[in-house]
Amino acid sequence: MNASTPSPAQNQASTTTLYGGVTNRRVTVRDLAAAKRRGEKWSMLTAYDALTAGVFDEAGIPVLLVGDSAGNCHLGYETTVPVTMDQMVMLSAAVVRGTKRSMIVADLPFGSYQESPAQAMHNAARLMKEAGVGAVKLEGGERSARSIELLVEAGVPVMAHIGLTPQSVHALGGYPVQGRGDEAAHQLLRDAKAVQQSGAFAVVLEAVPAELAAQVTEQLAIPTVGIGGGPDTDAQVLVWTDMAGMTAGRVPKFVKQYADLRTVLGDAARAYAQDVRTGAFPAAEHSFT
C-alpha cells in the first residue's frame, strides 16, 4: 500500500454515526449515503473563513457549506448575485485550511455554470484544485441536470439546490416560498428526481412546504437537506450568522437562533473601548518590563 492508497478504514463508510463515528478523516459522500440508510439526521452550516470553520469542525458538524450567501452574510452585498469565482475560491480555501474532518462543499456562484456544462466543469475544477473542496453545489433542478451529469461523470461530487434558489432573486421578485399549489409541487418533484437521476449525492430543498419536503425525502434515495423545509428532511442547513445571532435585523421564519453573538461581540468591543478611554487597558499584566 503506498502513501496515496486509502487504508481499509479510510475506504469504508462509517457504519456507526456521523457524530463521533468519523474522526480521523473527512466525511465523504458514502458516509452521507450510509446515514440516509440508517435514518440518521445530520446538520450542515455555512462557513466563510478558517477560524469559524474550525470551530464548527471541532463541534462535529459533518458538512460545511461555503455558500454564496457569503455575498450578503460576509462580504456586505445585498444578494448572492455579485459573488465571483475568485471570491469563492479564496473563501473556500480558507475553510478547507481551517478544518480536518467536515466535508467541505462550495457553491458555484451566479454566472459560473449557467452558460454550459463545460463552464460548470471549468469552475468546479477550480474549486477542487485551487481551494481543495470535496464537493460543489449548484442551483436548479431539470435546468441544471446536464451540468450535474457532466460533473459527476468527471468525478465531481455535486449537491443540488432546488425550491427557492437565491441566485434567481431578481427573476423571483424576492424570496417567496416555492412549491405551493399542484403544478409547482409537481415541478419540485420532477426537479428532485432529475438531480438524483443526474448523479447528485444530495439535494438542498429551500423554502418549500414541510409536507412537500417530506414527500420528496421519501421518494428520493439521496439525502435531502432542508432550509425552511420542515422537520422531515434527512438533514438541515442554516446560514451560520443566522444560527448564531450575528445577522443584523430580521431573520427568516425558518431560522432558530442558538446564540446572540452580535450582542456578545458588541458588548466586548464597547468594554474594550471604554477601558482604553479610561486607561484601564493595557494594565501592568499586558505590558512588557
Total interface residues for ligand KIV by CB under 6 A:
11
- 237 or 244, CB closer to ligand KIV? 237
Q: How far is the CB of 159 from ligand KIV (least distance, A)?
A: 9
Q: Which of 40, 139, 149, 206 is catalytic?
A: 206
Single residue of 107, 149, 191, 242 touching ligand KIV by CB under 6 A: 107
Cβ contacts of 266 within 8 Å, gap of 6 or more: none
- Is residue 237 within the footprint of ligand KIV (CB under 6 A)? yes
Going residue by residue from 177 to 206, which x/- string records binding to ligand KIV, judged by CB under 6 A?
Answer: ---------------------------x--
Quick one: which segment of 61-69, 120-128, 142-150, 242-250 binds ligand KIV (CB under 6 A)? 61-69
Single residue of 63, 239, 243, 244 touching ligand KIV by CB under 6 A: 239
Query: With helix as H, strand as E and coil as C, how does the chain read?
Result: CCCCCCCHHHHCCCCCCHHHHCCCCCCCHHHHHHHHHHCCCEEEEECCCHHHHHHHHHCCCCEEEECCCHHHHCCCCCCCCCCCHHHHHHHHHHHHHCCCCCEEEEECCCCCCCCCHHHHHHHHHHHHHHHCCCEEEEECCHHHHHHHHHHHHCCCCEEEEEECCHHHHHHHCCCCCCCCCHHHHHHHHHHHHHHHHHCCCEEEEECCCHHHHHHHHHHCCCCEEEECCCCCCCEEEECHHHHCCCCCCCCCCCCCCCCCHHHHHHHHHHHHHHHHHHCCCCCHHHCCC
Single residue of 131, 227, 243, 246 touching ligand KIV by CB under 6 A: 227
- Is residue 167 within the footprint of ligand KIV (CB under 6 A)? no
* Residue 183 a catalytic site member: no
Going residue by residue from 7 to 26, which x/- string records binding to ligand KIV, judged by CB under 6 A?
Answer: --------------------
C-alpha cell at 28: 465523504
- Is residue 224 within the footprint of ligand KIV (CB under 6 A)? no
Quick one: which segment of 60-68, 86-94, 128-136, 214-222 binds ligand KIV (CB under 6 A)? 60-68
Q: How far is the CB of 28 from ligand KIV (least distance, A)?
A: 20
- What is the C-alpha separation between 258 and 280, in angstroms, rounded? 33
- 14 or 43, CB closer to ligand KIV? 43
Active site residues: 206
Residues that bind ligand KIV (CB under 6 A): 46, 65, 67-69, 107, 161, 204, 227, 237, 239
